[in-house]
Amino acid sequence: MPTLSEAGQALLLAKADDLRARYAAFCDRKLALDMTRGKPATDQLDLANAMLTCVDADAVRAAEGPDARNYGGVDGLPAVKALMADYLGVRAEQVVIGGNASLTLMHDCLVRALTHGVPGGAGPWFGQPVKWICPAPGYDRHFKILAHFGVEMITVDMGPDGPDMDAVEALVAKDAHIKGMWLVPRYSNPTGATCSDAVVQRLVRMPTAASDFRIFADDAYAEHHLVDSPTPRTNLLAAAEAAGTADRVLLFGSTSKISFAGAGICAFAGSAANVTWLTGHLSLQTIGPDKLNQLRHLVFFKDAAGIRAHMAKHAALLRPKFDTVLDCLEREISGIAEWTRPEGGYFISVDTPDGCAARTVALAARAGVKLTPAGATFPHDHDPNDRNIRLSPSLPPPAELAVAAELFAVCVQLAALERLERGRSPE
């Protein structure tokens, strides 16, 4: 929220004493709560406990194809490629299965582009300036990878339908050093936005000055709905194929927030050229990913319908937590802050009045509630408006979550009040 209305200002000033008293009371409770990361809670992990033991010696022998215990299969078990293809809305031959973290696949794909280049390009990206479009608010780990490799980040606004495409199109059309962009096409981290069909079509059809431009599409929340009838979405890779730009899209997904956060499987999907490129590089780096864990996923889920049915169980656990936070925000800070009401994903994105995010997080920390650091949702941890805060409702137990949400709402108001009282309205 850029500015605080006069009504909002009056409201805050009227309840200043009350806010301070409530904050002091929270501090007295010696809380130790954590809302920093999008971690599944124990009851969510328990949903997949049968996966722990579903592959025994008999299941290994019964499985089609090579012995899942032995070396080999750099691109994954064929049946698991089919499973993840169905899940991601692509074809099995477009899929490569990785280890337990799609972050690794994404990181390594950038490294390979830097050291060797990508199909359609003129060789390694190293040795030239490399720039990258970063829709923000976005995922902190995406930005940190770019910073680590010295890639220049160009921020564009992330709106409710996806990135600001006027800005994206203008940038990529004129600068051949812009080699790619991050994108979370569904239930974006942290805003929950899903790219509209119009945005998807513009992404795959826009002219790019770089012949080897890549969209790193982190489809981390493909089936992570919080509502029963989510807004349909357009598949990015299929749209790129239809537009004749299939090489542009690298799609990444994982079961981290489906089976076990630390022990899922991940998948890459791309064009034939990109699959050949990736498997060629992978064959230097590994003899193959863990096929036993692939087999566990296959036996447990059977097919993409099994994954979707499982995700409904997650939603049943997550929805009340999101409602707890959203109801609290509605009750406490309407007219003072703005926030998203996501149809899926793991986060609620809150915009405080400008200049109040860092102070809000500091106040919450002092009272024992850890939040994602202010600024983390922007490149270089710098939110130019000091406005955005990512809330992660998934991990805390419901009772603790209600306390943490209320404290957060008090801290937002207190931060805004402090600015008011310092004689200047929050900008």
Give residues 264-283 in contact with its own copies (rule: CB under 8 A).
281
Give, in degrees to the nearest 5, the angle at Cα 266 between 101 and 294. Answer: 115
Would you say 289 or 426 has its CB closer to its own copies? 289
Which is nearer to its own copies, 141 or 177 (by Cβ)? 141
Type of residue found at 352: T
Listed ranges 105-113, 298-306, 316-324, 411-419: which one lies at the site for its own copies (CB under 8 A): 105-113
Contact between 262 and its own copies by CB under 8 A: the answer reads: yes
Contact between 45 and its own copies by CB under 8 A: the answer reads yes
Residue 33 interacts with its own copies (CB under 8 A): yes or no: no
Select the span of 61-69, 323-331, 353-361, 364-372 touching its own copies (CB under 8 A). 61-69
| Chain position carrying tokens 């990206």 | 125
Q: In sequence order, what are the residues at sequence separation of 6 or more whose Cβ sits closer than 8 angstroms to the Cβ of residue 102? A: 218, 220, 252, 253, 254, 256, 266, 267, 268
Using CB under 8 A as the binding rule, whether residue 56 contacts its own copies is answered as: yes
Partner residues linked to 162 by β-bridges: 159
- Side chain identity at 43, as an amino acid letter? D
Q: Which of 15, 107, 202, 205 binds its own copies (CB under 8 A)?
A: 107
Interface residues for its own copies in 133-192 (CB under 8 A)? 141, 144-145, 148-149
Residue of the chain from 101, 299, 317, 402 that contacts its own copies (CB under 8 A): 101
Give min distance, CB of 186 to its own copies, in A: 20
Give the separation between CA 180 and CA 185, rounded to whole angstroms: 15
* Closest separation in Å from C-beta 143 to its own copies: 11
For position 253 contacting its own copies by CB under 8 A, the verdict is: no
**Shorter beta-carbon distance to its own copies: residue 89 or 99:** 99
Structure tokens at 308: 């979707």
Alpha helix (H) ranges present in 334-385? 357-366
Q: How much of the chain is helix, strand and coil, in % rounded to 5?
A: 45, 15, 40
To the nearest whole angstrom, how small is the minimum distance from the Cβ of residue 392 to its own copies?
A: 12
Pick between residue 45 and residue 167 the one whose CB is nearest to its own copies: 45
CB 75 within 8 A of CB 96: yes
> CB-wise, 9 or 100, nearer to its own copies?
100
Q: Are 134 and 142 in contact (CB under 8 A)?
A: yes
Distances (CA, A) of 390 to 58, 158, 316: 45, 14, 22
Q: Tokens 């339908």 sit at which residue?
A: 161
Structure tokens at 328: 């609290």
User: Which one, 148 or 380, has the nearer CB to its own copies?
Assistant: 148
Residue 235: DSSP 8-state: -
Q: Are strands 152-159 and 348-351 parallel, antiparallel or unpaired?
A: unpaired
Q: Is 330 in the site for its own copies (CB under 8 A)?
A: no
By CB under 8 A, residue 233 contacts its own copies:
no
Among 2, 65, 72, 398, binds its own copies (CB under 8 A): 72
**How many residues does the structure list for the chain?**
427
Q: What is the number of other CB atoms lying within 10 angstroms of the CB of residue 40?
A: 23
Does 293 sit near its own copies (CB under 8 A)?
yes
Q: Considering the complex, what minimum distance in angstroms separates the CB of residue 14 from its own copies?
A: 43
Give the CB-side neighbour count of residue 77, counting CA atoms within 13 A. 25
Query: Does residue 131 sit in helix, strand or coil?
Result: strand
Q: Among 130, 203, 210, 263, which residue sits at the site for its own copies (rule: CB under 8 A)?
A: 263
- Residues contacting its own copies: total by CB under 8 A: 54
What is the distance between the alpha carbons of residues 307 and 290, in angstroms, rounded to a whole number? 20
Q: Give the single-character DSSP code of 130.
A: -
Site string for its own copies, 80-99 (x = CB under 8 A): -------------------x
Nearest distance from residue 142's CB to its own copies, in Å? Answer: 11
Please choose, out of 35-43, 88-96, 157-165, 322-330, the segment that lies near its own copies by the rule CB under 8 A.
Answer: 35-43
Interface contacts to its own copies, rule CB under 8 A: 37, 39-40, 42, 45-46, 48-49, 52-53, 55-57, 60, 67-73, 99-101, 103-104, 107-108, 111, 114-115, 126-127, 141, 144-145, 148-149, 256, 260-263, 281, 284-293
